[in-house]
Amino acid sequence: MAAEPQVKKDGHGPIILGRYELGNLLGHGTFAKVYHARNVKTEEFVAIKAIDKERVVKSGLVAHIKREIAILRRVRHPYIVQLFEVMATKTKIYFVMEYVRGGELFGKVAKGRLKEDSARRYFQQLISAVGFCHARGVYHRDLKPENLLLDDKGDLKVSDFGLSAVPDQLQKDGLFHTFCGTPAYVAPELLSRKGYDGAKADIWSCGVILFVLMAGYLPFHDQNVMAMYRKIYKGEFRCPRWFSSDLTKLLTRLLDTNPHSRITIPEIMENRWFKKGFRHVRFYVENDEVHSLDNIEDEHRPSPDLQDDASDSGCESDSSVASCPGSISSYHERRKLSLPRPASLNAFDIISFSSGFDLSGLFEESGEQARFLSSEPIPNIVSKLEEIAKIGSFTVRKKDCKVSLEGSRDGEKGPLTISAEIFELTPSLVVVEIRKKAGDRREYEEFYNKELKPGLQQLVYGPSAVDNFISDAR
């Protein structure tokens, strides 16, 4: 570990581990301070949460910090503040996080209630993020406008997962028993101290947030905290006259004091008031960073003068797809068309793929990945992957010579995501590598054995040609 950073004489902030320059203090708590910072290599701005290691150790919160890191790595979503990396010195732990420029949603509400369409949009984004967390076994437990940030595009970002819980914290009765959260936003079942469902408690908090966005004040409020708790426990609130009947009905379900009959995330998604203008966010995670498919539509659209050439090569193009080399065999032709070339492999690479030089053209399988040889044109391989993806209701994302099959069903480990990457061995021979990137292993194995492997088998190269190639290489 490195020593603590020193303030430089030129007036700039301290440099942490030679990577980030600290700027202004953005906020602080008992154990941590949050700073605005700059990546000295990329010039990108980030937020850095600096945690006092000694205080954490003395307070017995080491496991708590580790759990927060694990949770932030598990919940990567466009409407959740991203954790980029964790660093440490002798005395500090640093969370390098996404810098959200727009401030807290609370700042908007403090100026007065929001218009219905604006409140609905924020609520839709909140439910998208919360539902994503719940599908991964993460329960926030401290949802409130102060923990909802806005980026420079006006989109919501859920932050502060310090009080979040995961299933391994459940008691024998299958419930959580730790009382936490902000008094005005806690669910009534937390007040009974008999245990609670983390998902149901989060939904209650979402209901209070929606009320605050639309009304400009809290549904349960009293100067005396105990009096406020009594109102929460009894569910005593009244919707203002400007609330529509559909909104009032939704709030009644969200703020149902009985957690068993309280509305669920899937039911919210089907609610008439909620569904108005709702659009599922499309994204993917690559290199531990979240990328929105909606934001890159124009960036990867082929220019007009290249669209015809890309079509001639047999490659499909869509809003989130970069062209891939097709039947073009000449390197100079590829350069002329500005098309990427698949990564090249040599004889030793391909020999190392299999033990005993046995490359009989069959799949070489190992756990969550597999490789095979093919002499098929790359567009044919991509088309076959797309065909197989439709069977499993996968979304296909293509970039260069990489194809990603992204599932729609959420599980504790997220949607099943499978990548296929194509490497050039010779001008007429390629290696296709299949790999599970995310999701449940059992689900991957079932899809792989029933659909993926049988579907790709016809693309596998014959054994005699492979043997000849290896002999030549020797």
Question: Taking a C-beta distance cutoff of 8 angstroms, is the pair 186, 228 a contact?
Answer: no
Tell me how far CA of residue 357 lies from CA of 258, 350, 351, 365, 457, in angstroms.
65, 9, 6, 15, 20
CATH code at 244? 1.10.510.10
- Measured torsion, CA atoms of residues 467, 472, 473, 474, in degrees rounded to the nearest 10: 90
Between residues 310 and 117, the one the model is more confident about:
117
Last residue of a domain, one of 255, 284, 313: 284
93 and 153 co-located in one domain: no
Of all residues in the chain, the percent with pLDDT exceeding 70 is 75
Residue 316 CA to residue 321 CA, distance in Å, equals: 8
Domain end call among 224, 255, 284: 284
Burial class (CB in 10 A: 0-12, 13-18, 19+), 162: buried
Q: Decide which of 204 and 419 is more confident.
A: 204
Q: Is residue 10 part of a domain?
A: no
pLDDT band at residue 355 using 50, 70 and 90 as cut-offs: very low
Whether residues 37 and 154 share a domain: the answer is no
Whether residues 86 and 117 share a domain: the answer is: no
Decide if 292 is inside a domain.
no
Residue 2 covered by a domain: no
Of residues 262 and 459, which shows the higher confidence score? 262
For residue 444, what is the domain's CATH number? 3.30.310.80
Segment among 27-36, 67-76, 303-312 with least mean pLDDT? 303-312
Q: b/e per residue, 131-148, with b = 16+ CB within 10 A?
A: bbbbbbbbbbbbbbbbbb
58 is in an annotated binding site: yes
pLDDT score of 177 more than 80: no
In terms of domains, do 324 and 255 share one?
Answer: no
- Residue 37 tokens, joined: 């910072």
Helices (H), 409-460: 441-447, 453-456
Q: Mean of the pLDDT values across residues 284-297?
A: 62
- Both 119 and 230 in a single domain? yes
**Residue 3, in any domain of the structure:** no
Residue of 10, 52, 117, 142 marked catalytic: 142
In a domain, 402, yes or no: yes
Same domain, 112 and 247: yes
pLDDT at 72 over 60: yes
Asked if residue 272 and residue 149 are part of one domain, the reply reads yes
Q: What is the number of structural domains in the chain?
A: 3
Name the region of 317 (left: φ>0; alpha: ψ -120 to 50; beta: rest): beta
Q: Do 252 and 119 belong together in one domain? A: yes
Interval 391-410: pLDDT, tens: 888 888 887 788 888 887 66
What count of other Cβ atoms lies within 10 Å of the Cβ of residue 227? Answer: 12
89: tokens are 């010195």
In this predicted structure, which of 45-49, 208-212, 377-381 has the lowest mean pLDDT? 377-381
Confirm whether 142 is a catalytic residue.
yes
User: Are 82 and 48 contained in the same domain?
Assistant: yes
Task: Examine residue 1 and state whether it is found in any structural domain, yes or no.
Answer: no
The residue range of the domain holding 373 is 304-473
Whole-model pTM? 0.65
- 247 and 176 share one domain: yes
